[in-house]
Chain A
Amino acid sequence: MIADGVEDEEKWLAAGIAGLQQNAFYMHRALDSNNLRDALKYSAQMLSELRTSRLSPHKYYELYMRAFDELRKLEMFFKEETRRGCSIVDLYELVQHAGNILPRLYLLCTVGSVYIKSKEAPAKDVLKDLVEMCRGIQHPVRGLFLRSYLAQVSRDKLPDIGSEYEGDADTVVDAVEFVLQNFTEMNKLWVRMQHQGPAREKEKREKERSELRDLVGKNLHVLSQIEGIDLDMYKETVLPRVLEQVVNCKDEIAQYYLMDCIIQVFPDEYHLQTLDVLLGAFPQLQPTVDIKTVLSRLMERLSNYAASSADVLPEFLQVEAFSKLNNAIGKVIEAQPDMPILGVITLYSSLLTFTLHVHPDRLDYADQVLGACVKKLSGKEKLEDKKATKQIVALLSAPLDKYNDIVTALKLSNYPRVMEYLDSETNKVMATVIIQSIMKNKTRISTADRVEALFELIKGLIKDLDDAFHDEVDEDDFKEEQNSVARLIQLLHSDDPEEMFKIICTVRKHILGGGPKRLPFTVPPLVFSSLKLVRQLQGQEENPFGEEESTTPKKIFQVLNQTVETLSNIPAPELALQLFLQCAEAANDCDLEPVAYEFFTQAYILYEEEISDSRAQVTAIHLIIGTLQRMHVFGVENRDTLTHKATGYSAKLLKKPDQCRAVYACSHLFWVDDQDNVKDGERVLLCLKRALRIANAAQQMSNAARGSAGSVTLFVEILNKYLYFFEKGNPQITVAAIQSLIELITTEMHSDSSTLDPAADAFFASTLRYMEFQKQKGGAIGEKYEPIKV
């Protein structure tokens, strides 16, 4: 059925074109022979093809364009005719003898164009006559095309300022009057189109109408190009008249299109100066009109205008652009209670962009916008609408982009309140955006208040916002998020220790609620940040601020202790252990023995109670040994306790090789180079011997279990320890001991049961080479090595 309709239409169009061409042919012949009467007759017949009602606007346009071309030729002929002495006035009458109105009016417009050019009559009279006579066509499509033709032929003949058609009697007022009238009539016809034909084809008609909108809009374009329209005239005449028409037509499509047209075709400066009038029209539009888009575009244009030059900014202030826009938006929202939340947010978002561009210094404006947004959002559940949330993100990102500085955004009290309306997913996205902004701009956030505000903003990342169970969260995404939070924490810094401490406390307060999944990410940066503060304080003079100094390393350590403890509860014992050790080391540097001891205790407890994995234990024990070795605050007693414990742990590791390595590592606990009180050679030897024993046991176990002895690597490693302490001058390490160890290794290597281990061989070989080298080098060390036979 529909296909048939299209086919039929093609047929009708073809028939129309054929008829048109045939008459055009006769018309040409008449033109060639200067036969005016025939020319008129055939041109009228040709134009009669345009009387059809069967074509859709699209097809009708095709027909119209062909007629248009022919009419150009006719116009040329009329011009020549007047040159040959035919009175243009007579011609103007003659074409009106045509019985059918549509051809008559096309001809009239064509002659009218020549008439104006001849200047035998004032342009305004001819124009006025033409635009009046065109009222005879009340059929929307035909009327629109006729009037569009009129607009086209009269375009270059308007009595504009500076135009050749301007005269005493013809002023730009007449030109404006003419275009406005044509515009009004065209719009009426266009709007009326929707009522033509059956209701079931409404959709199709609306599509057709949209195709024709540019015909109507062209008038506005013509208006915008009339040079003579100055601001006053625009304000007094043009805009009110156009708006009157727009408002009164009460048609959704027309109102949307025309408002947009007005905004696009007239200069920004005019918009700015007539903002009252323009904005006043918006609440009067039909409730279904997509005002948000139009208004957004207006604000976008004004924003760009403001951005174009600093010179224009005073104008914005002068006309109070912001408050006007703000009021207008309020009114529009009030007038359109059914406007979806998306629309509301889009509007505010545009307004925000506008105010950021125009009044970057007026944060209160931005806050006002956000406040209004909150008001509108309040009373509603969290947003479900995907687009709306996206728009909110855009809204919230705008100030960040503009100021490149979260600090400014933090001053906006309504900012977090808007964020509350986002669902948790989007909230996270927004939080990420904020963090990225901070990192990109390396913003320094240096007061606790701001940190507080900031964490309020990004709490979507800091803790689970709702109780809903999110198992679909992607592990990688989550890590990414938390890593960014961690980076953010590192960025928070104040040179004032007092303030920095506050910041730390604030951050701590926020992150502690993060739950077991987040803490491993967030606690370490906080700890290190705190330690950084500790070191800063340590570097300073003692108490530079006097007695009442509240931020002391001690205090920080207290906080740290509690902080790290939370990690052990979640549980993340390895991490907690590492952090405790870090803290202990820091405390060591501050000469706070009890604190350091406490941290170690904590670490040991963790080791004993929480770390059960053998691999983790190995790592942990090496960390403990390493840290402990560097500690210098401890008195003999404390140190003994701690070293004893450490050695004990070492010997209790599960795997023999691990035991062995841990034990020989423990030897360092008794011999610290730069600490004279820690040079217990005997116990070093004890450790090494024990290690040797364990290595032996390991060898035997391996023999028993697999039938082949294990690698000699452990022995070589122990040999290296021997050599180390030997060089350091530990009297307990004798040449004989080394000598026997070398022999042991050599034997082991040559025994039948030994497995081939090239790495161990190489290790041993290079150890021997080292000794040889030391000998040759001579000096004190060389002498020491001399007795050893390799």
Chain B
Amino acid sequence: MNYLVGAFKPPCNIFISFADGRSRKQVPLKKENGKTVMVALFQSQESIVGEVVIEPVHRKKVEHNGVKIELLGQIELYFDRGNFYDFTSLVRELDIPGELYERKTYPFEFSTVEMPYESYNGVNVRLRYILKVTISRNYVGNIVEYQEFVVRNYTPPPSINNIIKMEVGIEDCLHIEFEYSKSKYHLKDVIIGKIYFLLVRIKLKNMDLEIRYRESTGSGPNTYVETETLAKFELMDGAPVRGESIPIRLFLSPYELTPTYQNINNKFSVKYYLNLVLVDEEDRRYFKQQEITMYRLLETS
């Protein structure tokens, strides 16, 4: 499954596997080359246990200055590509310098690892966790093998979860009151709510509810903000009259959402907004944006 990385044909193959690899949940992960692979899923405070198998090719002798395995948590900003910022770095020595003649297995264990941040693959930023096995050698390059894995952290349902209710409008033109049942949603949640038309003097054509996503990276003058509309969900077709109330029921599960990330390691933030858009017959848009908090709820299934 794992192939060697590198241009030169390495003198040995390295396999990294997890002790509970068969039973552990696998999630899809999009690689840089666009391919999606299934990788193991962990959460913070879990022990990461497994073994590294090194198998020299053609029974050639491999000299080395020691074998180690590292657990790295990295943030990569795309405007600064290639420069990884490691916020977590743990090392385990697997072997003292010597020679390898034949296939050898090294068990490893990182117990109760603190992994506060979730794996994230954004527009301008990436946060990833990897296991990195290094066979150090003199004169020739080190032999390195990576194994990526995904971290997701679950949050209990928030104790305070207020409804969002607001009256907005354009004077003597359009007054609406909208209501979303909650301000905090988990990723598979449903947005329930309604829009109540208090005054309608313009000819509306339709009304959409958009889920907008906002990723900001960097800080100070180097701040990059990326917004994207993830969902455009039509709520109403046609022109309502005063007194109408239009229901909202938007299932979040079809959309690829992440939890809200607040200033992760001072490097980036991800926020979500609900944007209510009303369009009139001249295609003018009237909208009101409200931030919502996304969180990851432990899936029981």
Contacts and interface: CB of A to CB of B under 8 A. Distances in A.
A137 B236 CA distance: 6
B237 A132 contact: no
Nearest to B232: A99
A121 to B, nearest CB: 16
A97 B236 contact: no
B234 A101 contact: yes
Interface in B216-239: 231-239
Interface in A418-456: none
Interface stretch (A139-147, A256-264, A541-549): A139-147
Contacts of A317: none
A139 B245 contact: no
B52 interface: no
B237 A51 contact: yes
A753 interface: no
Given A99-B234, A101-B236, A132 B247 contact: yes
A188 B242 CA distance: 12
Contacts of A102: 234, 237
Question: How extensive is the interface on chain A, given as a class?
Answer: 20 to 34
B254 interface: yes
Given A132-B247, A138-B244, A99 B231 contact: yes
Contacts of B231: 99
B61 interface: no
Contacts of A196: 239
Interface residues of B, number: 20
B233 A137 contact: no
A51 B233 CA distance: 15
A135 interface: yes
B249 interface: yes
Nearest to A192: B241
B238 A142 contact: yes
Nearest to B241: A192
A142 B234 CA distance: 15
A577 to B, nearest CB: 87
Interface in A156-208: 188, 192, 196
Contacts of A188: 241
Contacts of B233: 99
A520 to B, nearest CB: 75
A96 B249 contact: yes
B240 interface: yes
Interface in A96-125: 96-97, 99-102, 104
Contact of A135 (B234, B239, B244): B244
Contacts of B87: none
A137 B238 contact: yes
Interface string A468-511: 00000000000000000000000000000000000000000000
A100 B234 contact: yes
Contacts of B247: 132-133, 135-136
Given A97-B254, A99-B231, A135 B237 contact: no
B84 interface: no
Contacts of A137: 236-238
Contacts of B245: 135
Given A99-B234, A100-B234, A133 B249 contact: yes
B297 interface: no
B251 A138 contact: no
B246 interface: yes
A743 interface: no
A739 B10 CA distance: 177
A143 B247 CA distance: 15
A133 B240 CA distance: 14
B237 A138 contact: yes
Nearest to A191: B241
B238 A140 contact: yes
B237 A101 contact: yes
Nearest to B248: A136
A139 B281 CA distance: 13
Contacts of B237: 51, 101-102, 136-139, 142-143
A143 B238 contact: yes
Among A135, A136, A142, A143, max chain B CB count under 10 A is at: A136
A32 interface: no
Nearest to B254: A97
A279 B264 CA distance: 72
B241 to A, nearest CB: 6
A93 interface: yes
B241 A136 contact: no
Given A51-B237, A97-B254, A138 B246 contact: yes
Contacts of A96: 249, 251
Contacts of A101: 206, 234-237
A132 B245 CA distance: 10
B251 A97 contact: yes
A192 B197 CA distance: 16
Contacts of B249: 96, 133
Contacts of B235: 101, 136
Among A51, A102, A135, A142, max chain B CB count under 10 A is at: A135
Contact of A138 (B232, B240, B253, B254): B240
A139 B240 CA distance: 8
A139 B254 contact: no
Contact of B236 (A51, A138, A192): A138
Contacts of B241: 138, 188, 192
B280 to A, nearest CB: 13
Interface in B122-145: none
A139 B241 CA distance: 11
Contacts of B234: 99-102, 104, 136
A135 B232 contact: no
Contacts of B253: 93, 97
A140 B240 CA distance: 10
Nearest to B190: A93
A242 to B, nearest CB: 19
B181 to A, nearest CB: 15
Contacts of B244: 135, 138
Contacts of A104: 234
A97 B245 CA distance: 21
Among B235, B237, B253, max chain A CB count under 10 A is at: B237
Contacts of A138: 236-241, 244, 246
Interface string B30-44: 000000000000000
Contacts of B246: 135-136, 138
A97 B231 CA distance: 10
Contacts of B232: 99
Among B234, B253, B254, max chain A CB count under 10 A is at: B234
A315 to B, nearest CB: 40
A138 B195 CA distance: 13
A51 B241 CA distance: 20
Contacts of B240: 138
A258 to B, nearest CB: 19
A118 B237 CA distance: 30
A188 B231 CA distance: 31
A139 B205 CA distance: 9
Among A102, A137, A139, A192, max chain B CB count under 10 A is at: A139
Nearest to B252: A97
Interface of A: 51, 93, 96-97, 99-102, 104, 132-133, 135-140, 142-143, 188, 192, 196
28 contacts: A51-B237, A93-B251, A96-B249, A96-B251, A97-B253, A99-B231, A99-B233, A99-B234, A101-B234, A101-B235, A101-B237, A102-B234, A132-B247, A133-B249, A135-B245, A136-B235, A136-B236, A136-B237, A136-B246, A136-B247, A138-B236, A138-B241, A138-B246, A139-B238, A139-B239, A142-B237, A142-B238, A192-B241
Question: Which 5 A-B residue pairs are closest in the complex by CB-CB distance?
Answer: A139-B238, A138-B238, A101-B234, A138-B240, A97-B254
Given A137-B238, A142-B237, 19 more contacts: A93-B251, A93-B253, A96-B249, A97-B251, A99-B234, A101-B236, A102-B237, A133-B247, A135-B246, A135-B247, A136-B234, A136-B237, A136-B246, A136-B247, A137-B236, A138-B238, A138-B246, A139-B239, A140-B238
